[in-house]
Amino acid sequence: DYFLTAKWSVGGDLIAVSDQVFFGDEANNSKPLGGYARVDLRTTYQATDNIQLYGLLRNVFDTEYGVYGT
């Protein structure tokens, strides 16, 4: 995270997943499900000592990924 001011911060995450074999294909006879990377961004603002505003943007590039296959 990076603090733009004492009360406001921004940050992000990169989630990377490698190729995965299909469920039931532990012998790897089929082409695997492709890997992917997802980017998420977030921001927080400390309005008062007891109130924090929070925003999250998941999957910034709005791409669909296969996460399971049989």
pLDDT in tens, the chain (70 residues): 999 999 999 999 999 999 988 888 888 888 888 899 999 999 999 999 999 999 999 999 999 988 888 7
User: Which residues does residue 37 pair with via DSSP β-bridges, in sequence order?
Assistant: 16
C-beta separation of 39 from 14 below 8 A: yes
C-beta separation of 54 from 43 below 8 A: yes
User: Which residues does residue 44 pair with via DSSP β-bridges, in sequence order?
Assistant: 9, 54
Is the pTM higher than 0.75? The answer reads yes
pLDDT in the model for residue 61? 95
